[in-house]
Amino acid sequence: MMKNSGNAVSTAGSRASLWLGALFCCALWGLAPALIKTGYALMNIEATGSIVVFAGSRFFIAGWMVLLFYSLSHKKMPKIERKDVKPILVLALFQTFGQYFFYYLGAANASGVMVSVLSGMSALLALLLSACVFRLEKMTTLKLLGCIVGFLGIVWMNAGPGGFTFTFSGEGMIFLSQVSSALSAVCIQIFSKKSSPILLSGWQFVVGGAGLILFGFFLPDHSVAWSASGLGVLAILAFVSAGAYSLWGVLLSRYPVSSVSVFGCTIGLFGVCFSALILHETLSLKVAGAALVTSLGILLVNAHLPKRMGKKSERKAEC
């Protein structure tokens, strides 16, 4: 009986750590859109070029924040070992440059509704890639159903009389952004078996952010009217990215990809709530209903979360 009791406590603790950590990350990401809009207004950012430079600056600073935290906590300078070069470049390509390159191009040509709906597909895509392509976990009915239910919650929240449209230059780019996000989630779990997820997060931000800045300079109207207040918002956004992605990487190194990624369905809900608080946008009963549906999806995916995480027996894979 004592052994079973200990397992029950371990399971509860494991689930509590996952829920608290993942929801904290999603709350930070949900806060980002309101801060981004504030930064745009403060620095007169409108064109795609200036948007990409602003985004790249955010992630470049976030990377150095993560590396500074790593240096202070480990009492040594973060160095790139030879085995970390490939993981850093792959993650920089998918998690930062690819995800946000496609996202900003698509957001300029897609409706806000479709951006929100398609942004909720990363959880389902991550499950399909993890289970069917990389074989990192088993596909189960509950996991698939949970991801679909979570996605339907997002669709419900954004559904309107105008219906949904799809163009490659708009919605197609947003979809590719979510493919990049899902690939990065799978790769983080693979690479974190041999490298620190925090160290990988920091360096990939630096590399990916620098890539976005350079790309932005090749686009027209890339100038940004930097100001003290705008830089303050940029610093907060960088801190949001540094904290959220680092913790997210740690969670992905300890839990199945599907169990973590499904929480991404709550980002839009947090975004709506923070927009109401900061930008004074209105809330609706539809948001509350979507929150309940999304929560149900998360519960379904994590219904059979293993009792002990961290020493999983999945076979090794290469990304």
Measured distance CA(155)–CA(159) in Å, rounded:
6
Residue 37, number of CB atoms within 10 A of its CB: 15
Mean pLDDT of 162-172: 71
pLDDT digits (tens, 9 = 90+) for 130-141: 777 777 777 777
Contacts of 276 (CB under 8 A, 6+ apart): 282, 283
- pTM for the full predicted model: 0.77
179-201 burial, b at 16+ Cβ within 10 Å, e below that, comes to bbbbbbbbbbbbbbeebbbbbbb
Measured distance CA(260)–CA(10) in Å, rounded:
18
* Cβ contact 233:39 at 8 Å: yes
Would the pLDDT of 203 be above 90?
A: yes
* Cβ contact 160:212 at 8 Å: no
3-state class (DSSP) for residue 303: coil
pLDDT digits (tens, 9 = 90+) for 226-267: 999 999 999 999 999 999 988 988 898 888 887 888 888 787
